[in-house]
Amino acid sequence: MAFCEKCGTQIEDGKTLCQSCSASYAQTSFVTTDVEANKLMAVLSYLSILALVPYFAAPNSKFARAHAIQGLNLLIIVTICEIIGYVIAAIPIIGIFGTLAVSLVGLASLALSIIGIINVFNGVYKDLPFIDKIKFIKQ
């Protein structure tokens, strides 16, 4: 049995579409044994630089690798935004906006990481909101 990465519905063997959301089985499912065996690795994907652990330690797990790539993309985006925020923070007068931006990026990163971890515990893969179109590392 596999699970749909978009809605989490269990997909019967031999089916090509999710019965709930009509997502393609070939692109949106993971083998149940892979999901159960690699949940801890997938959780590491959303803990900043620890996303490198499942990326290199579980290369044969499609579930862990998908989450690791998403976690690495999140890390890259957050790092770029924080660097920009710190540069703005160094500018006199408008520096307070840079400091505020860094704080907001940190909160957004925390929220997106929590969403990713919840998806892992549910045994599904879903693109994270707001960053789903920005991919520095492809699947």
pLDDT digits (tens, 9 = 90+) for 50-100: 999 999 999 899 999 999 999 999 999 999 999 999 999 999 888 899 889
pLDDT band at 9 (very low <50, low <70, confident <90, very high): confident
Distance CA 83, CA 26 (A): 38
Cross-strand pairs, 72: none
| 15, pLDDT greater than 70 | no
Q: What is the DSSP string of 68-115?
A: HHHHHHHHHHHHHHHHHHHHHHTSTTTHHHHHHHHHHHHHHHHHHHHH
pLDDT in tens, 16-45: 667 777 766 544 468 888 899 999 999 999
**What average pLDDT does the segment 109-118 reach?**
96
What's the pLDDT at 27?
Answer: 43
| 1, pLDDT greater than 60 | no
DSSP state of 51: G
Q: Is 27 helix (H, G, I), strand (E, B) or coil?
A: helix
Scanning the structure block, which residue is given the tokens 């989450």? 67
Q: Is 34 helix (H, G, I), strand (E, B) or coil?
A: helix
pLDDT band at 117 (very low <50, low <70, confident <90, very high): very high
pTM: 0.76
Burial of 69 (0-12, 13-18, 19+ CB in 10 A): buried
Q: Is 10 helix (H, G, I), strand (E, B) or coil?
A: strand
